[in-house]
């Protein structure tokens, strides 16, 4: 360097290698700092998503129907306050197929066979062999199997945004965290599906008589009270019919209780075929049934009940006899009908229908009295 402090060209040439090293180090440090900052931002974003997603997941616990559960789960996975995926789909196993229960994807096909050349079948085949998912939509898809108590319930599928793929590219730990979170959400959804179905079955067993398919006595009486109150409030017609199988004790005594159960089962099916969707059919006890007909006056109820008397009379019941032989028998029924009177409660309506039934049996059975 000259005394005037001016660097000559030759001196610059001598300094350049050291200057270049320093510049490269500075650029490298800057790149590392930017990458660290990006990683911190990504971690912060993921942590915030995890916290908000866990909060939202607790909402699923209070839902009472599968439709609500599926809709809320898909919203949890795709909303900005949730996981923020581009798309999400829930598919349920029904018989040998996968049925789309809820999805944000626009697809024409809603049912997929468990075997075939589509991504769901490939995923199930790979999962069954313990292999990784064999690729999806540019590797942006993630699938989770829904299982409970060892049974396959369905599949949960999510598709990430392209920007999300770029943001987390190269950050394997973040991608794995997100996969684990989606898996946990799938486990919660699986548990809730199973619980809802168990509750539905318990409710069905408590409201429906297993043998005949008619409603249980307690459930019928609750429905009858509701219908009576509604009819009185709005001035609508309502009728009730008592049904009693004639000489049913003789069937049990002569053919056995298994044969008696078979007759009750087939009669329950016959009765249900002959009542309207709006009607309420209950098994009152033993061989006695009760039939509630909303929006129906006594005259209309008598026409419907007369038809039922004829249907029962025409029915043949094939019972197993000794060895391989079969015995065909027929039965008859006695019916008593009553229409709701102004200001009458459900107990009074039941009593008048029961009195009409008693008259039908006293008059020779196999008939309707109103």
Catalytic residue positions, numbered: 287
Kindly list the distances between the CA atom of residue 257 and the CA atoms of 71, 186, 284, 308, in Å, as whole numbers in the listed order. 48, 47, 19, 24
48: its two tokens: 């915030």
Burial of 219 (0-12, 13-18, 19+ CB in 10 A): middle
Locate all alpha helices (DSSP H) within 274-297, ordered by sequence. Answer: none
Backbone angles phi, psi at 3, to 5 degrees: -65, -30
Instruction: Give the DSSP per-residue string, 10-41.
Output: HHHHHHHHHHHHHHHHHHHHHHHHHHHHHHHH
Distance CA 246, CA 107 (A): 57
Whether the Cβ atoms of residue 264 and residue 244 lie closer than 8 Å to each other:
no
Identify the sign of the CA torsion 221, 222, 227, 232: positive
Nearest CA to 215 out of 231, 197, 227, 233 is that of: 227
Nearest CA to 337 out of 297, 306, 369 is that of: 369
Collapsed DSSP state (helix, strand, coil) of residue 366: coil
Report which DSSP code applies to 95: T
Pairing of strands 238-245, 333-339: antiparallel
Residue 119 neighbours by CB under 8 Å, 6+ apart? 136, 141, 143
Collapsed DSSP state (helix, strand, coil) of residue 293: strand
């Amino acid at each position: 360097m000259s005394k005037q402090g001016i660097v000559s060209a030759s001196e610059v040439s001598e300094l350049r290698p050291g200057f270049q090293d320093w510049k490269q180090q500075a650029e490298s440090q800057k790149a590392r700092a930017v990458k660290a900052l990006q990683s911190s931002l990504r971690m912060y974003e993921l942590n915030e998503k995890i916290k908000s997603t866990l909060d939202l997941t607790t909402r699923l616990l209070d839902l009472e129907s599968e439709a609500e559960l599926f809709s809320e789960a898909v919203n949890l996975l795709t909303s900005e306050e949730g996981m923020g995926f581009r798309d999400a789909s829930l598919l349920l196993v029904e018989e040998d197929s996968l049925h789309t229960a809820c999805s944000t994807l626009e697809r024409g096909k809603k049912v997929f066979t468990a075997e075939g050349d589509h991504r769901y079948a490939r995923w199930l085949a790979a999962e069954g062999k313990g292999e990784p998912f064999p690729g999806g939509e540019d590797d942006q898809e993630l699938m989770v199997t829904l299982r409970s108590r060892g049974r396959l319930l369905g599949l949960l599928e999510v598709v990430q945004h392209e920007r999300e793929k770029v943001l987390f590219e190269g950050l394997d730990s973040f991608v794995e965290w997100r996969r684990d979170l989606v898996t946990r959400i799938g486990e919660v959804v699986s548990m809730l599906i199973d619980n809802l179905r168990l509750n539905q079955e318990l409710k069905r067993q408590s409201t429906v008589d297993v043998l005949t398919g008619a409603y249980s006595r307690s459930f019928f009486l609750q429905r009858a009270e509701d219908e009576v109150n509604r009819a009185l409030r709005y001035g609508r017609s309502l009728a009730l019919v008592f049904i009693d199988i004639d000489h049913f004790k003789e069937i049990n005594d002569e053919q056995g209780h298994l044969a008696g159960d078979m007759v009750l089962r087939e009669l329950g099916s016959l009765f249900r075929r002959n009542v309207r969707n709006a009607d309420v059919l209950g098994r009152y006890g033993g061989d006695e049934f009760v039939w509630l007909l909303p929006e129906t006056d006594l005259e209309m109820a008598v026409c419907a009940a007369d038809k039922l008397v004829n249907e029962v009379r025409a029915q043949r019941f094939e019972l197993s006899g000794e060895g391989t032989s079969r015995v065909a028998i027929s039965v008859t029924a006695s019916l008593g009908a009553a229409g709701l009177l102004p200001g009458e409660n459900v107990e009074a309506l039941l009593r008048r229908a029961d009195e009409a039934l008693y008259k039908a049996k006293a008059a020779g059975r196999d008939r309707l009295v109103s």
